[in-house]
Amino acid sequence: MADLAKAQQWSSVAHLARQGVDVNTPKADGSTALHWAAHWNDSATAALLIEAGADVDAVTHTGVSALSLACENGNPAIVGLLLKAGAEVNVAAVGGVTPLLLAAQSGHAGVVRALLEHGADVDAKATGSAQTPLMWAASEGHEASVALLLERGASITAVSAGGFTPLMFAVRAGHLDVVTTLVEAGADVDAATPVMPASGGRVGYDLGAGPITPLPLAIANNHAPVALYLLAQGANPNQGAAGMSALHHAVYGIGQNRAAGGGGDDGSGLRGREELVRALLAHGADPNARQTAPGLMGFGGEGKHGAFEAFGWGTNRVGATPFYLAADCSNANPELMRILLAHGADPSLTTEDGTTPLMASSGLGWGYAPPDEAARQRMLAGVRFLVEEVGADVNAANAAGFTPLHGAAYKGSVDIIAYLVERGAEMDVRDYRGRTPYRLASWARNSTDFYRWPEAADLLVELGANPRLGVPANLQERELARAAGEATGQAGGTTGGR
């Protein structure tokens, strides 16, 4: 009979039930005909089976009951039948998942109410995650169920194994109506979690481990309306996560979700970004807050290792300010920089290794793939703003010897190269490995990616760069040069301090 029910052969199921065939004979996985009637939302068959003596508390080998299936489907008719027949309301499947957890997740407030009226544990926790029905309803954005659970005494301060409160689940998912309901019910907008789950960041980078509060969580997940609401409710504007303040995250999210290297359309879904930046500043966010952790990137959220690491490029951004991130080549946003300057941002502040905002805008900022033309023009606008309106030094070098021209050459940005040289940039300056901007343009290296920019290299030579000075950018090129006995700036070749 269970096989027939699985195949939705309802007339055959009814015939066998009326003939007195055992309705509780299970399949190999423990599922009965009643399970399948609940699964397929067939209330008539469910009623017939119950009348024929179906065990309403039968469970599969993973502990799933017919009630759990009906709750997962949000089917009030079958839930009502099962509860009337005396189904155990707090039976838990593998993982500690109760019918109420599933009902909260499915979002049918009528089912949630029926379970609570029959004694469901309002704060039952899933095994391992320690997540409650209120958390599941909040995460899925089911405001009516959230309100009902709160009315029935659900804990608003419960904390999951990952350190999240119900408010944090709603914030991460961007459900403003649920966030509002929870805050109005007394949720603490500044409650911090000691642990940040690895899935906490959904903007292309991981928030890592460490304390986090609702405001930076909203910003990092690109939910500007939620962030603005939290600010209006008194959230501390200087909270942060992963070594970045809320303002860092607001500025960072504008550019970092564009195509790699800062090109293409912004796919983050964040709206009202400048409004959010202005709101943070208006509420007292520090425009000169310093980043205290390495830059965040892909590949599992591992931080960059800095200018002196073979697989790092330019800087790890420790010490970066929000202004620096606004200048970064993935942003290069003059309007954002103006907003920050108007609120007291210091444009002279560099990263810990001395990388300036101009270097970041020129090409030493975040990004792996080559920028597209739109990104190059945005970068040029940022460079011009920093040089002409801020007075940035075109020949400044960071601790690894990188200059703005190195960044432009690395990205192959001919317009920026021409502009920087016109403004007095030195063309034959060497980085810590002895590479000149020409060498980087000839065969640049970034992490595991290699790019050659013949047009940029030719332009540098045309402008007066020495093409035989400095160490070739690529190891293979250096080996070939050494084998050929070719001079590369020093007799017998140079290892550039390696």
Q: Which distant-in-sequence residues (6+ apart) come within 8 Å of 38 by Cβ?
A: 46, 66, 67, 69, 70, 73, 75, 78, 82
Minimal CA–CA distance to 111: which of 151, 155, 152, 67?
67
> Alpha-carbon torsion 286, 292, 293, 295, what sign?
positive
Q: What are the pLDDT tens digits along the chain (498 aa)?
A: 999 999 999 999 999 999 999 999 999 999 999 999 999 999 999 999 999 999 999 999 999 999 999 999 999 999 999 999 999 999 999 999 999 999 999 999 999 999 999 999 999 999 999 999 999 999 999 999 999 999 999 999 999 998 899 999 999 999 999 999 999 999 999 999 875 544 444 333 345 556 889 999 999 888 999 999 999 999 999 998 888 999 999 998 765 544 333 333 443 334 467 889 999 999 999 999 999 877 543 333 344 444 544 444 556 788 999 999 999 988 888 999 999 999 999 999 999 889 999 999 998 876 556 778 888 899 999 999 999 999 999 999 998 888 999 999 988 999 999 999 999 999 999 988 788 999 888 875 544 455 788 999 999 999 999 998 887 655 555 555 566 554 444 333 332 322
Report residue 373 as tokens: 């033309």
Judge whether 439 and 432 are in contact, CB under 8 Å: no
Distance CA 245, CA 238 (A): 6
Give the β-pairing of 244-245 and 444-446. Answer: unpaired
**Partners of 451 in beta bridges:** 444
Distance CA 165, CA 115 (A): 23
pTM comes to 0.83
Distance CA 265, CA 184 (A): 37
Percent helix / strand / coil, the chain, rounded to 5 = 45, 5, 50
For 53, 213, 216, 351, 436, the CA distances from 337, given in Å and listed in that order, are 73, 26, 20, 17, 29
Written as one string, the DSSP assignment of 32-69 is: -HHHHHHHTT-HHHHHHHHHTT--TT-B-TT--BHHHH
Distance CA 122, CA 156 (A): 11
